[in-house]
Structure 1
Amino acid sequence: MSAVVVYNELVAITAGAGLLGFAAFLTDLVRNKRIASEAWAAFFGITGGLLLVTGLHTTLTWPFGDGGFEYANIAFGQPAAGFGALLLLAAVYLWRHRALFDGEVGTANATALAALKPAGIFVGALGLGMAVLAIAFVRFQLGAAPAVEPISGRFGDWPILEALFLGGLWGIVALGALLFAIALWTDRPQLLRWAVWAWVIGGVVFLLFGAMNFYTHIGMYYNISHDTMHKW
């Protein structure tokens, strides 16, 4: 097995941070708390920019090029690019409307929620795509780590385990996206609470998963380079 240059560790932790950040931002909007628009614009600009660049590069160049991992270019790259574009949209909106958020809180937050409605169409579309990806992970038992990868590789003989984990993770994020779109387009704001919870759970898991991959992927490349088989 040869090493390939990928960066799904950064994608995972950035996606996790983006989900948690947007969940916190949306909670403040719904609860009519004052929004620090410049600070949130900076946060969404950083996370959105990283996800858009890495997601597009993965989508267009397919760095997961062989060994049966080609599906990862679709499952990781395309959702990252779409999510990154949405976060950048939020960054631009918040930066351009700084004066609005310096004014009356109720008016500013209600205006921002209304402005999210058109973007909700694309959020829902991404959610539908993520839901189908979740089904694909389980149906085709995708995601099993190679034996040379520490920790995750120990479960490579049971591909259904990682397939269920990844399918569940993609699925919970998809659920949040679909609930978000439905809430905005059916005027049922109470559903936003459940979208927030779905994204908080998904964001935490993505963060932990990405952080773990910094260790397991370095260990994998070490095993490849030194012809060793460290399992932990």
Structure 2
Amino acid sequence: MKDFFMGESSPGMIDWTTMPTYNTIMSLAAGAGLVALVLFVRDLMRHRAEDPLSTDGWALTFGSLGVILTVTGAHMSFTWPLAAGGFAFDNVIFGETSLGFGILMSALAIFLAKRGDRIIASPTPLTEVARAARPLSIFIAGLGLALVAIMFAGIVYQLFAAPPQEPISGAFAEWPLVEAIFISLLFGLVGVGAVLAPLAIRALSKASPSAGGDATFQVPTIAKVVGALWLVTGVVFVLFGAMNFYTHIGLIVNTM
């Protein structure tokens, strides 16, 4: 069998006992994580004494998503290859990136659980979190560069395209470059946001509340750009991952 992410023809029958596939939940969790990060920063900027943000709620959110991505990403990263068919690039593309993102979200969850009271009590909770995140900028930017590299690899080698047996996505099986470009651009746009994230974190760590006596911030332009990139791609990853629960089930049924 050729890897179904490459869009090559696959036989009618697949031994699914040797082809574990769970990038469905990975896509869902990664997309939700990107959206959650944007909404979390928004909550930090809008924090007021009469309407405080819930650090416990955000810790639960990032912790849950972090566990999913860390566990699945670690298993995929450490099992070479995960599928008996021998598609180690899937381990790199999905496993290693999910592991990195999962660890970052888990770390954020622990930080919020331990320092939540201090953050809420701060007159500028946004700068408090941004300053704590600044040392992570190197790894975040590195992950961004890795995602950009995956974008180029996906287009050059025409990865990600589905076989004809897969519902919906399989309709483009004759044109593997279509889905290759679509998914590769998603990775690339998330990567661009991650590369710019250190600049956004630096700007947010120095931001001052707007005039008016509350903690409302004027959002730096670079932070708006990163937020827009992650919000849009996060929503798309959530929707695409949810759709894949149908398409992957259909692929399994059609090739059992």
TM-score (normalised: structure 1): 0.90
Q: Which one of 114, 136, 146 corresponds to residue 153 of structure 2?
A: 136
Rg larger in structure? 2
> Does 2:60 align with 1:29?
no
After the TM superposition, which residues 70-219 of structure 1 pair with which residues of structure 2 at under 5 Å, given as runs? 70-104=88-122, 106-185=123-202, 189-219=220-250
What's the secondary structure of 1:97's corresponding residue?
A: helix
What's the secondary structure of 2:121's corresponding residue?
A: coil
Q: Determine if contact 2:131/2:202 at 8 Å carries over to the other structure.
A: no
After the TM superposition, which residues 31-46 of structure 1 pair with which residues of structure 2 at under 5 Å, given as runs? 31-32=46-47, 34-46=52-64
Q: Determine if contact 2:119/2:128 at 8 Å carries over to the other structure.
A: no
> 1:102 Cα shift?
3.4
Structure 2: how far apart are the matches of 1:107 and 1:211?
37
> 1:70 Cα shift?
3.5
Q: For the structure 1 residues 214 and 194, does the alpha-carbon distance in structure 2 shift closer, same or farther, using more than 3 Å as the test?
A: same
Q: Which one of 63, 76, 80 corresponds to residue 82 of structure 2?
A: 63
Structure 2: how far apart are the matches of 1:85 and 1:44?
10
Structure 2: how far apart are the matches of 1:76 and 1:138?
16
> 1:185 Cα shift?
4.5
Q: Determine if contact 1:27/1:196 at 8 Å carries over to the other structure.
A: no
Q: Determine if contact 2:31/2:237 at 8 Å carries over to the other structure.
A: yes
Structure 1: how far apart are the matches of 2:83 and 2:140?
26
Counterpart AA for 1:95: A
Counterpart AA for 1:193: K
> 1:64 Cα shift?
3.4
Runs of 5+ consecutive residues of structure 2 not aligned to the other structure:
1-13, 208-219
**Equivalent residue pairs, number:** 223
Q: Deviations over 1:40-85 (max 9, x none)?
A: 0111000001100000111111323427x43222111111000000
1:228 paired residue number: none
TM-score (normalised: structure 2): 0.82
Structure 1: how far apart are the matches of 2:45 and 2:121?
17
Q: CA RMSD in A?
A: 1.8
2:7 paired residue number: none
Which segments of structure 1 move beyond 6 Å, counting only runs of 4 or more? Answer: none
Structure 1: how far apart are the matches of 2:125 and 2:200?
19
Structure 2: how far apart are the matches of 1:113 and 1:181?
10
Runs of 5+ consecutive residues of structure 1 not aligned to the other structure:
226-232
What's the secondary structure of 2:124's corresponding residue?
A: helix
Counterpart AA for 1:74: V
Return the structure number with greater relative CO, CA threshold 8 A, min gap 6. Answer: 2
What's the secondary structure of 1:102's corresponding residue?
A: helix
What's the secondary structure of 1:213's corresponding residue?
A: helix
> 1:172 Cα shift?
1.1
> Does 2:6 align with 1:2?
no
> 1:119 Cα shift?
1.3
> 1:32 Cα shift?
4.8
Q: For the structure 1 residues 179 and 194, does the alpha-carbon distance in structure 2 shift closer, same or farther, using more than 3 Å as the test?
A: same
What's the secondary structure of 1:147's corresponding residue?
A: coil
